Structure 1
């Protein structure tokens, strides 16, 4: 539960802010990713995002990296896997998704994370599930399907999906794998040290793909004030500030309540898309959101 003041009558507004701020940042990241189309190639945007974020984090993390270098060395394989799944894969796939899909669709598919967490846990980590979990996952699947087919069941039969939506599905699966690694095999190092180590490994893995995009695909960065602002935003707000706010929110509110606040991301994305991009949400977005939230609530009842 959200902690209260001693009188027990008012919520802790700092906890509410910490729970709400990251979804707003992640929605903004989807909007900015959409605005970057044609100006910055998606894989290059992800690479630049984490290079800048790593440089900003380095002064705060470096002493910890040196102090915990033995632990980092022992867990190099796990840290590399985390960097590949989160830094190199999830974020790059999200920007790729935004080249053909909308921020509302992308964030709604991402909000179905509990479904894929359940599937990855059962398949790869031998987790046992209860009937409530299965029912909640089924509702999430219905909500995601509504978004994928845009309310037209004929698309489901014809497998007529937008490529960006499928990219986001893959991204959601990679993040689920990262989450399970973090839960089961998290190295015993401070948050700043772990994040910095993941960024380093993710950037190293991303480098050849970035080179391929710029040389083989002949895509270019069209530098401008807008591009600089985009890179500054993605390197700071959704990458570092949201990450630390989310960590503090989980520490204050527990593991279960934040799951529901994640579903604010598509709500914020819909509002920002309408205001900044002129992309209005449709009925199936609302239906998908309600169904996904219901599935999360059902699966988290225990």
Structure 2
């Protein structure tokens, strides 16, 4: 599969990491106000209500939403149910920068999932690009001091984020397959509504399991309501609308390299909202990550 990286595609690929960074910051801020699975359910329930008038084509007879229920159900499971629930669960015990750094290992998982489950070819330049990007991640993890890597310890949240990243890799490859299926792919709102409809069912099941095991105690407040609106409106619609276009245009493996920009945007947002300024090693990490993108795109 031949991939193409134009300026407009690069712009589409850059916006989602900014929104993902904001989502990680907000998810960390409200971790004591609402349980993670319930947070994800509320987020997508609000998104579903907003999408209903925009994606009403999905509700028409013959739209293929019911006929292709297995395909949409899998997209909803991996992209909405598992990925986001695991991310919010990770933010219970890990910091936003750690969560986004673990997620930056996605190129490796994307290559592995594509090769093992979708028969995708792995090229040497893709491997080289992945190694450069991972080097950038390691620079941030060790704060510019390679000696700290030996003492690095992953917490439970980091492990949950690894599982989330694997789930997103499956979602991206399934999304690539969807472009060859007639139906809603030309209408992003209807296509997203079909996924969210099934995804909310998965979210409800996960929230129900959470309630059965630990109970649900939501500390309602205006800041929490504002946070829910942000995670539902901002990262949901803009991210997925842009994501669908960028994955179908550039391919899931190349697109995954741009996700590695998320930790850098998270560092900038952390400086603004949490008082944690970026450092020189962030600039070095940025160069390595962008270098990985350039090598993979050639």
SS at 2:250's partner residue?
coil
Deviations 1:92-140 (A, max 9, x none): 1111121222222222333333222111111111212222122222333
CA distance in 2, matches of 1:17, 1:127: 26
Alignment of 1:16-55 (within 5 A): 18=12, 20-55=14-49
2:185 pairs with 1:206: no
Match of 1:113 among 88, 106, 126: 106
Whether 2:189 is the aligned partner of 1:192: answer yes
Measured against aligned partners, the alpha-carbon deviations of 1:32-64 in whole angstroms (never above 9, x if no partner) come to 111111011111111100011011101122233
- 1:215 Cα shift? 4.1
Aligned-residue offset at 1:300 = 2.4
TM-score normalised by the chain length of structure 1: 0.82
SS in 1 for 2:58: helix
- The total of aligned residue pairs comes to 284
Does residue 177 of structure 1 match 2:165?
no
1:61-97 CA-to-partner distances (Å, cap 9, x unmatched) read: 223331444x223321111111110100111111112
Q: Is the 8 A contact 2:110 2:256 kept in 1?
A: no
Contact 1:139 1:292 in 2 (8 A): yes
Looking at structure 2, the residues matched to 202 and 83 of structure 1 have their Cα atoms a distance apart, in angstroms, of: 4
| CA deviation profile, 1:206-249 (whole Å, cap 9, x unmatched) | 21221232342134110000110011111101011232244456
Backbone CA RMSD of aligned residues: 2.7
The 8 Å contact of residues 52 and 193 in structure 2, kept in 1 or not, is answered as yes
- Secondary structure of 1:222 counterpart: coil
In the TM superposition, residue 259 of structure 1 has moved relative to its aligned partner by: 5.8
- 3-state secondary structure, aligned to 1:73: coil
CA distance 1:194–1:177, change in 2 (3 Å): same
Match of 2:67 among 67, 74, 79: 74
Matched with 2:150 is 154
The gaps in structure 2 that reach 5 residues or longer are: 1-5
Is the contact made by 1:111 and 1:292 (CA closer than 8 Å) also made in structure 2? no
- CA distance in 2 between counterparts of 1:290 and 1:53 reads 35
CA apart distance, 1:19: 5.0
- Could you tell me how far apart the structure 2 residues matched to 1:88 and 1:218 are? 19
Distance 1:84 1:284 in 2: 36
1:275 aligns with 2:272: yes
TM-score in terms of structure 2 length:
0.83
Provide the secondary structure at the position in 2 that maps to 1:175: helix
